[in-house]
A and B are shown apart, each in its own frame.
Chain A
Amino acid sequence: MSNQTRGGTRRSLLSRHMGTLMFLAGLIGMLIFGWVFFPPMLYTSTEQPLQFNHKIHMDEGGMECADCHPFRADGTFASLPTLQQCAECHEEPIGDSEAEKAFIDEYVTPGKEVNWYVYSRQPMNAYFSHIAHVKTGGFSCEECHGDHGNSESIPPYQTNIISGYSRAVGGQAMAGREVLPTEVMRMDTCSDCHIKHGRRTPCLECHK
């Protein structure tokens, strides 16, 4: 395209640089879409069936992580507490929260287990030994799971629509630059940490 109109006058600034502008528009448009609008599209969010206040249990209940998330007699990790464990204290309402009332009415009384969504549930082909890391490795719960214990509510459970993984496992940030287990729990996270600590592991160590 020439920079002159048929009438001989110079084309407008806009006309002259339309190409570049278009390019930039496309570039910036996609960048904005990719970084701002696309990420939320990838995830669905579900609320947990009940709200739960960790802080009250730790402060006023005087409990620690291992009281509800213990190791069983055979060394396996008990993950989330069973209804029976909770019902030991919550047969009757202790506090005055809505969540507790809902818990007792809908779960304790009819004897139904709560279907919690587990944020850090790995796919079935991955094996992770809590006791090896906590007891032998000396890791504290917060180092990998964040300061859950001091939270007053539990966040919604976000899953990636395509992969089906929880966001805590698949990673929060789009750039994929997280390295801490508190942000992401992919295979690289585990193996990077292992290499850093000089424990190169064979495949079978973590896969089943």
Chain B
Amino acid sequence: MSRAKEKPEGAPRYAMTIDLDKCTGCGACMVACAVENNVPPAQSGANDRNGTTLMRVYAMSNKQVYPHAKQVFVPMTCQQCEDPPCETVCPQNAVEYDWTTGIVAQIPVRCLGCRYCMVACPYHARAFNWWDPTWPEGMEATLNPDISTRSRGTAEKCNFCHHRRQLARERAVHEDREMCEDEYQPACVEACPVGAITFGNLEDPNSAVSKGFAKPEAFAFVEKLGTKPKIRYLSSQKWVHDMARSGVPGKEATNG
């Protein structure tokens, strides 16, 4: 698929860097994402495999014993691939690579719930609404009108808080100016207390993400699958890079 052909002149491509040296695994990004995207509290049967978590923090360990054990915390969200497998497999066209922003759009209202996209995603970044959303009585007053609520039976994933871009553009139009890139930041980026997540336009060579992508300590998870993810993780620890390359413990050294 040639994305370059469709992309309008000057359109941004949004990307993210996540610094694993800084992330303490506090989970504030998970909570902020749930609050921003109208995700309800976990049902009593929910766990990390069937919960609706658009941003989920994993603990990744180097499989050694104390005191040589090391752990990093990996906030995993939709990698906004340039070549998304989930887009190819969706029978409903509910997933679309947005050529004006680089975001892979998931439209839950069109989804029929076959979960093929969840199978296709190598990052387990997609969540399925096994339950209808229910909040404690009255808490619906805290819902964000910039996002809909989704019924059970639909798949969903991170959309880089695209609604925030819409609001930023409206403000810019009202003030007769261009939108500054800083005005559009997803909820997780704002919430991180240690500043581990940066977000910006990859088309701008001076943006923090472009610089982050160029750093030697930047890597993508299972890059060899060719999905061309737009999230780079930064880590100064070699074992993290090795593990991310293969995804299979024990095969870190080889490329398979």
State the A residues within 8 Å of B (CB): 71, 73-76, 123-125, 127, 129, 131-132, 135-136, 202-205, 207-208
Contacts and interface: CB of A to CB of B under 8 A. Distances in A.
B222 interface: no
Nearest to A72: B174
Contacts of B172: 75
A55 B173 CA distance: 30
Contact of B170 (A74, A123, A203, A205): A74
B147 interface: yes
B127 interface: no
Contacts of B21: none
A132 B171 CA distance: 10
Contacts of B109: 125, 207
Nearest to A74: B171
B62 interface: no
Nearest to B170: A75
19 contacts: A73-B174, A74-B170, A74-B171, A76-B167, A123-B148, A129-B166, A129-B170, A131-B174, A202-B98, A202-B99, A203-B98, A203-B105, A204-B96, A204-B98, A204-B105, A204-B107, A205-B98, A205-B100, A208-B163
A75 B174 contact: yes
A205 B169 CA distance: 11
Among B109, B159, B166, B169, which residue has the most Cβ atoms of chain A within 10 A? B166
A136 B170 contact: no
B175 A75 contact: yes
* 5 smallest beta-carbon distances between A and B, as pairs: A75-B174, A75-B170, A202-B98, A204-B105, A125-B148
Among B99, B147, B174, which residue has the most Cβ atoms of chain A within 10 A? B174
B4 to A, nearest CB: 16
B146 interface: yes
A131 B103 contact: no
B147 A208 contact: yes
Given A131-B174, A136-B173, A207-B107, A202 B100 contact: yes
Nearest to A207: B107
B173 A131 contact: yes
